[in-house]
Structure 1
């Protein structure tokens, strides 16, 4: 895998959309409804709850990117096929280039990102680390506050797409 020097990566973030994976672990609650796993992290918005994910590296498959982010953030692997197909494709824009459109998108002041979004299952018990200050499961009707801007819409779209 190739790595970019921080100053070059910062230039790319300001210049082109980046391919990313967004994923959310889902489990069934005792009541039989779906619960989503979210991390608490520091962000440009302060501490917020959000889905997991990040950029796909050059030469890395989508599944490899998801597994790398799961291991880096929760010290655990996720159950995902070798060639997974997204439940949703979600777009993230910095405010200064956000389009005026009639559909929802997420806000990320750092970059314009195209998020290939996946619903996953965890393979074991997560241990939050690195960017994850905490990890918990929540029902969709009791999501924590504050959420990363766009995260609630993404979760609704991913879950309705994957459960239908």
Structure 2
């Protein structure tokens, strides 16, 4: 896989929207409630709770991108088929480029189009937060932790209504 030099990638990030996979693990708690897994991470907004994911690489399928980001961040491979379809498409904008409508997320680094998924994990006990994930925890909607990545609440609400 070929990677772009940092300066060229930064220029691309400032110039065009990027395709990303955004996802949250979901499970049913022993009491029957739906729970959503989030990571705690450092961000341009300080330390925040947020969904998982990242960009799709050239030549990479959505399934491969989901698997890569899940393994890199939680140390486990998600339970997905080879052609997963997003539950929602959410848009992220830098504040200066953000439209007034529809509701969107804020990302100081880039404009991205998040193909958003809910996924299952094979064994929650095997989760080992790593790389960007400082911590991982399960939350029961609508009791979201604070602080959340700006716009993350809207994404989580839309995903939990669809899963």
Using the size of structure 2 for normalisation, the TM-score is 0.96
CA deviation string 1:104-160 (max 9, x = no partner): 110000000000000001122210000000000000122110000111110111121
Match of 1:113 in 2: 112
Q: Which residue of 1 aligns with 2:147?
A: 146
> Structure 1: 5+ residue runs without aligned partners?
none
Q: What is the aligned partner in structure 1 of residue 14 from structure 2?
A: 14
1:40-85 Cα offsets, whole Å, 9 max, x none, are 0000000000000000000100000011000110111101110110
- Greater strand proportion: 1
> For residue 88 of structure 2, what is the aligned residue in structure 1?
88
SS of residue matched to 1:141? coil
Partner SS for 2:110: coil
Distance 1:122 1:5 in 2: 34
Structure 2 spans left out of the alignment, 5+ residues: none
Q: What is the CA RMSD across the aligned residues, in angstroms?
A: 0.8
* Distance in 2 (alpha carbons) for counterparts of 1:47 and 1:145: 10
TM-score by length of 1: 0.96
Aligned to 1:76: 76
Q: How does 1:11-160 map to 2 (within 5 A)?
A: 11-101=11-101, 103-124=102-123, 125-160=126-161
**Aligned structure 1 segments of 4 or more residues deviating by more than 4 angstroms:** none
C-alpha distance in structure 2 between counterparts of 1:71 and 1:5, whole Å:
24
